[in-house]
Amino acid sequence: MIQKFASPARFMRLSQVLLPWMAGLTVAFAAVGLYLGLVVAPADYQQGESVRIMYIHVPAAWMALFCYAAMAIAAAVGLIWKHPLADLAAKSTAPVGAAFTFLALFTGAMWGKPMWGTWWVWDARLTSMLVLFFLYLGYIALVNAFDNPARGIKASSILVLVGFVNVPIIKFSVEWWNTLHQPASVLKIGGPSIHSSMLWPLLLMALAFTAYYLWVLLLRLRGEIIANKVRVLRLRRVHGQA
């Protein structure tokens, strides 16, 4: 079943259909989510207007973890089943995940300054998120560090799988250690503890970021496939096979 989706030609046809849908969903979810979060949702009784940073920070943090988990799955599929598109999916996801992680760190610093009185503290959640950012950068550097692309993909896939141990550390850091971050208020047993006026824009922004990731992933995958075709044609021309 998994080999059914290994055909680059089939993927190119499918992605051509999905691209406008992902673009449209990104714009629609983001427009409604930002309007509800910045205009309709009330200010927090303790944090005031600064709470609105949450509508960017929290979905960005979720997507930072989601993208890394997607990379780990793609890397495992590529190593075990030698699925060519899985390797390209991991490679294409890395810059997007790094961008989401940077956005989460940056907005977290903006949120932390008025709330905690400092831009940064070395607590468990912040430190493990910074480690995640470095893992993304390490993957990007390693996958492009070899003249042989196959060696680069294999080495970087191993790095992703080893680094995945950091994902549960990020998730449960507020429960395992004493940190400044509050415990989960959305994804928790018993349901969300956040009011619906704040929950809905938060979820809509999460959907917008997810649609954006899929949109960019499809674009980058198409670019990688085209680049591979060009590379093969050049090699054939060099060896006189064209």
- pLDDT tens digit sequence for 151-164: 999 999 999 999 99
Question: Residue 241 above 90 pLDDT?
Answer: no
pLDDT for 36: 96
pLDDT for 157: 96
What range defines the domain where residue 207 resides? Answer: 2-238
Please classify residue 67 by burial: count the beta carbons closer than 10 Å to its beta carbon, then call 0-12 exposed, 13-18 middle and 19+ buried.
buried
CA–centroid distance for 158 within its chain: 18
DSSP 8-state class, residue 36: I
Average pLDDT of every residue of the chain: 89
| 9 residue type, one letter | A
Output the pTM of the full model. Answer: 0.91
- Joined together, the tokens standing for residue 170 give 């990020």
User: Who's near 114: CB < 8 A, 6+ residues apart?
Assistant: 47, 50
CA–centroid distance for 191 within its chain: 24
Across the range 62-87, mean pLDDT stands at 94
Are residues 121 and 180 in contact, defined by beta-carbon separation less than 8 angstroms?
yes
Strand partners, 44: 48
Place 1 in a pLDDT band, splitting at 50, 70 and 90.
very low
Place 93 in a pLDDT band, splitting at 50, 70 and 90.
very high
pLDDT for 48: 83
- Joined together, the tokens standing for residue 116 give 């905690």
Lowest mean pLDDT among 102-116, 176-190, 217-231: 176-190
**CATH number of the domain within which 176 lies:** 1.20.120
**Number of domain units in the chain:** 1
Across the range 161-183, mean pLDDT stands at 84
Give the residue from 41, 22, 19, 21 showing the smallest Cα distance to 203: 41
- Joined together, the tokens standing for residue 187 give 């994804």
Strand partners, 48: 44
Are residues 91 and 143 in contact, defined by beta-carbon separation less than 8 angstroms?
yes
Question: Residue 117 above 90 pLDDT?
Answer: no
Number of other CB atoms surrounding residue 107 within 10 Å: 19
